[in-house]
């Protein structure tokens, strides 16, 4: 395809490596780069380099941050008796939106014996060490097989400590119709039914 300049083809190729970006979208993004102002693209390139140079992992909670310990770990306004355990840093962004204001612990993955990922491959050891400092540990792994297995594992190794261990509720997503809910979710929703508070 000699009619696409090599440098443009390279950018298109790089864009298509991003998740959810197909060949056509990558081409559109490449054309956009072509049409954008030089300064804007240089700024964009610089910001990409900055991310890789500045962002590290917090030594306490393993969240991504430009400082270690991160802003969340050192914020005195946060409730230091609550610990929310998540699989990934990106989950923190979602949980923050719910209004939760305790601390976090990022596992950096889930246990997955079939893929050879055991407790030594994710941040579980230091979770055990620090867990005694908290009143409650909320295990917020995904509701997937690996997420559930990981939650169960953590629950078991923390069970002999004097801390409350909870996990995210299972039930109907807000706005859903029973008709479209799978059996497992509905079973959970009935088992975990909540009383009306008068």
Interface residues toward its own copies, by CB under 8 A: 1-8, 10-11, 14, 17-21, 25, 27-34, 38, 40-52, 54-55, 63-66, 71-72, 89-90, 92-93, 96
Minimum CB separation of residue 115 from its own copies in Å reads 17
Between 64 and 117, name the residue whose CB sits nearer to its own copies. Answer: 64
Residues 6+ apart with CB under 8 A from 95: 84, 86, 104, 140
Minimum CB separation of residue 189 from its own copies in Å reads 27
Minimum CB separation of residue 167 from its own copies in Å reads 22
Cα dihedral across residues 105, 108, 110, 113: positive or negative? negative
Between 87 and 189, name the residue whose CB sits nearer to its own copies. Answer: 87
Minimum CB separation of residue 3 from its own copies in Å reads 5
Distances (CA, A) of 41 to 7, 26, 29, 118: 14, 16, 12, 42
Rg of the chain, C-alpha, whole Å: 22
């Amino acid at each position: 395809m000699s009619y696409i300049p090599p440098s443009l083809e390279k950018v298109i190729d790089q864009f298509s490596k991003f998740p959810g970006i197909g060949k056509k979208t990558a081409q559109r993004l490449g054309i956009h780069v072509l049409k954008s102002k030089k300064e804007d693209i240089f700024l964009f390139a610089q910001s990409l380099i900055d991310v890789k140079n500045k962002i590290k992992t917090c030594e306490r909670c393993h969240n991504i941050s430009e400082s270690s310990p991160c802003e969340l770990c050192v914020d005195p306004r946060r409730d230091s008796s609550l610990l929310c355990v998540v699989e990934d840093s990106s989950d923190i962004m979602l949980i923050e939106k719910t209004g939760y204001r305790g601390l976090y612990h990022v596992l950096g993955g889930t246990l997955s014996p079939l893929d050879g990922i055991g407790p030594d491959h994710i941040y579980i050891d230091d979770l055990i060490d620090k867990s005694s400092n908290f009143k409650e540990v909320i295990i917020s792994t995904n509701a997937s097989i690996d997420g559930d297995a990981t939650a169960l594992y953590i629950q078991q190794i923390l069970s002999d400590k004097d801390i409350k261990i909870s996990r995210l509720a299972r039930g109907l997503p807000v706005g859903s119709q029973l008709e479209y809910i799978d059996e497992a979710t509905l079973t959970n929703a009935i088992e975990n039914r909540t009383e009306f508070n008068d």
